[in-house]
């Protein structure tokens, strides 16, 4: 399979409702995928990926970094947003315009007009990497949605309800797919199953996930 099959080809967007307030927009970011990957690579060069440590002292499986006015961090002191990279002490890289525009457009399409993110988590997955079920609840205001963009290798997205022990649905996310959740689903538990090994024409053995949030 050649790389040109994954280049910025326009494709019809199909919508799949995951729950009240949550929607999967298949192929929504495909036309901008190459630009988004380039922007993410630039962010990762300026603020290198790292495995953050949980308050309990365990290294996270997913390598990550941030861009935008605020970045999400974790260490022995807890989970929080801050304006500087704890590794370099410098402000996080500015959020590239292509990222902001895509996140705003996806949120609007999903029924959340006026969304402007102030934080973007850039996560890198490799074969075997997983993200356990969790809620995004470190933001001050839960009125804004979460916008999650998948790039590279396909992944299985886990989406549940308000309780960790509740039923969980599984959705295959491909290159260019976008998930938006807010409203009644804003605090839904979600995660990613262990990534299957593969080779993507644009990102090789990796999956990059961009998660946009309004933290403040």
- Residue, of 209 and 8, whose pLDDT is higher: 209
Measured distance between the N- and C-terminal CA atoms of the chain, rounded to whole angstroms: 43
- Residues 191 and 112: beta-carbon distance below 8 Å: no
Question: What would the two tokens of residue 46 be?
Answer: 């300026």
Question: What would the two tokens of residue 70 be?
Answer: 């605020």
Chain segment 22-53, per-residue pLDDT in tens:
999 999 999 999 999 999 999 999 999 999 99
Chain segment 118-172, per-residue pLDDT in tens:
999 999 999 999 999 999 999 998 999 999 999 999 999 999 999 999 999 999 9
Q: What is the pLDDT of residue 6?
A: 43
Q: What is the pLDDT of residue 2?
A: 38
Tokens 């090994």 appear where?
197
- Residues 77 and 55: beta-carbon distance below 8 Å: yes
Q: Is residue 3 pLDDT above 80, yes or no?
A: no
Q: Is residue 80 pLDDT above 80, yes or no?
A: yes
For the chain, percent of residues with pLDDT exceeding 70: 94
Question: What is the pTM assigned to this prediction?
Answer: 0.93
Q: Which of 93, 92, 74, 95 is nearest to 84 (CA)?
A: 92
Chain segment 6-16, per-residue pLDDT in tens:
444 445 689 99
Residues 6+ apart with CB under 8 A from 110: 23, 25, 145, 180, 182
How many angstroms separate the CA atoms of 158 and 33, rounded? Answer: 23
φ, ψ for residue 176 (rounded to 5)?
A: 95, -5
Q: Which of 156, 142, 153, 199 is nearest to 175 (CA)?
A: 153
Q: What is the pLDDT of residue 1?
A: 37
Task: State mean pLDDT over 112-120.
Answer: 98
Q: What is the pLDDT of residue 141?
A: 87
Query: 174 in helix, strand or coil?
Result: coil
Residues 6+ apart with CB under 8 A from 119: 66, 68, 69, 70, 71, 72, 81, 212, 213, 214, 215
Q: What superfamily does domain 15-213 belong to in CATH?
A: Alpha-ketoglutarate-dependent dioxygenase AlkB-like (2.60.120.590)
Q: Is residue 114 pLDDT above 80, yes or no?
A: yes
């Amino acid at each position: 399979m050649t790389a040109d099959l994954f280049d910025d080809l326009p494709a019809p967007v199909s919508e799949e409702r995951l729950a009240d307030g949550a929607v999967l927009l298949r192929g929504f970011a495909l036309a901008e995928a190459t630009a988004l990957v380039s922007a993410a690579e630039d962010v990762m060069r300026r603020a290198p990926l790292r495995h953050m440590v949980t308050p309990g002292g365990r290294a996270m499986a997913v390598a990550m970094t941030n861009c935008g006015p605020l970045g999400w961090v974790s260490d022995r002191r807890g989970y929080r947003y801050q304006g500087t990279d704890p590794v370099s002490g410098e402000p996080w890289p500015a959020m590239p315009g292509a990222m902001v525009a895509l996140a705003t457009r996806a949120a609007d399409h999903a029924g959340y007009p006026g969304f402007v993110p102030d934080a973007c988590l850039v996560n890198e997955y490799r074969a075997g990497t997983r993200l356990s079920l969790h809620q995004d609840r470190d933001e001050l205001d839960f009125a804004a949605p979460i916008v999650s963009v998948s790039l590279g290798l396909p992944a299985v997205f886990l989406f549940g309800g308000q309780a960790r022990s509740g039923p969980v649905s599984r959705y295959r996310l491909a290159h260019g797919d976008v998930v938006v959740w807010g409203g009644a689903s804003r605090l839904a538990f979600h995660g990613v199953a262990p990534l299957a090994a593969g080779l993507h024409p644009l990102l090789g053995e990796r999956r990059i996930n961009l998660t946009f949030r309004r933290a403040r």
